[in-house]
Copies of this chain bind each other. A is one copy, B any other.
Amino acid sequence: MTPITIVSLGSGEPEDITLRAYRALQDVERIYAIGEAAVEIIRALPSGAVLEKKVTILSVPMQSDRRAAASAYEALAGQLEADCLADISTALVTIGDAGTYSSAGYVCRLLRERDMPHFILPGIPYYMTLPACLSRPLVLGEQSLLVLSRVESAEQLREAIDRDRVVVVMKLSRSEEAVRDFLRTDPPVSILYGEYIGDEERELVTDSLRSLPETPFPYFSLLIIKPSTR
C-alpha cells in the first residue's frame, strides 16, 4: 500500500504553498483536485506545466447538497483506496488548508474509516491571508478568535465582539443578512473584507467599512470583524 497525501495548496498567491507540499506534488504519480481553483494554482507553480499533466479534476457538488456531496466523497475515497492498494502514489489537493472547512476533511474521515494510510500537509487558510494582504495581524495578546461558518444572528456577533473576540465569517454569502444587520448598528469594530482572494482579476480586499460592496457578497468572500482597539 502506498499512503495517500492530502495536500493543502494554501491561499493567496500560488507560491503560498509550502516547500513540503510542493515537493509532494512533484513526487506523486497522480493528483486529484477538487474544483478548478486548485488546478489554477497548480498551473501557476514553477513546474506547473509538468504537474498539471498528472491532474484529474473532480467536480464535487456544494456541501449544501449533502447527499450528492457525500456520494461524491465516497467515490473519491474509493478511487484513492484503489490507487493506494495498487501502489500508485496519489495526492488529493485542496485550496486553503485541508483541515479547515474543506471537502478534503470529509475524505480524510472516509480514508480513516477504510483504514487507508494517509498524511495531511497543512496550508494557509484564507482567513490568515486576508489580514496579511492588508499588512495587519489577525489576533494579538489576550484576544480570542472565533471562526464561524454560519452566523445565526446579529446578536451572536454582538456577543462575540463584547467578549473581545476577533470574528471570522467564512462562507459569508450565506450569513449576509445577519452580518449586514450587525454592521448597520454602527458597532465599535474595524473590519477586513476580501473577495476572490488570489484571483488577480477579481480580487478585492479592504479594511474600510465604507468600501464594503453593497451588492450581495459573492461565494468566495470572507469578513473579519475586530473589536476596536481602545
CB distance from A32 to the nearest CB of B (A): 17
Determine the chain B residues whose CB is within 8 A of the CB of A46 once the complex forms.
19
- Taking the closest CB of chain B, its distance from the CB of A77, in whole angstroms, is 14
A window 112-142: CB within 8 A of B: 112, 118-125, 128-129, 131-132, 135-142
Partner of A128, one of B19, B122, B135: B122
Residues of B within 8 A of A101 (CB): 139-141
What is the interface of chain A mostly: helix, strand, loop, or mixed?
mixed
Residues of B within 8 Å of A56, CB to CB, are: none
| A97 interface contact, C-beta 8 A | yes
- Assess whether A100 is in contact with B120, with CB atoms less than 8 Å apart: no
Q: Count identical subunits in the complex.
A: 2
A128 close to B100 (CB less than 8 A): yes
A140 to B144, CA, bound (A): 20
Asked whether A144 and B141 contact (CB < 8 A) given A19-B16, A23-B15, A122-B16, the answer is no
Q: Any chain B CB within 8 A of the CB of A18?
A: yes
CA distance A18 to B104 in the complex (A): 20
A23-62 Cβ-contact flags toward B at 8 Å (1 or 0): 1000000000000000000000010000000000000000
Does B17 lie within 8 Å of A13, measured CB to CB? no
Q: Please measure, in the bound complex, the distance between the C-alpha atom of A17 and the C-alpha atom of B123, giving whole angstroms.
A: 10
User: Is the Cβ of A123 less than 8 Å from the Cβ of B124?
Assistant: yes
Chain B: CB-nearest residue to A126: B122
Query: 1/0 per position for A74-108, CB-CB distance to B under 8 A?
Result: 00000000000000000000000111111011101
A-to-B contact residues, CB < 8 Å: 10, 12-13, 15-20, 22-23, 46, 63, 97-102, 104-106, 108-109, 112, 118-125, 128-129, 131-132, 135-150
26 A-B pairs (CB sep. < 8 Å): A10-B18, A15-B19, A15-B20, A16-B18, A18-B18, A18-B19, A19-B46, A97-B138, A98-B132, A98-B137, A99-B128, A101-B139, A105-B138, A105-B140, A108-B135, A112-B135, A119-B135, A120-B132, A120-B137, A121-B132, A122-B131, A122-B132, A144-B148, A145-B146, A145-B147, A147-B147
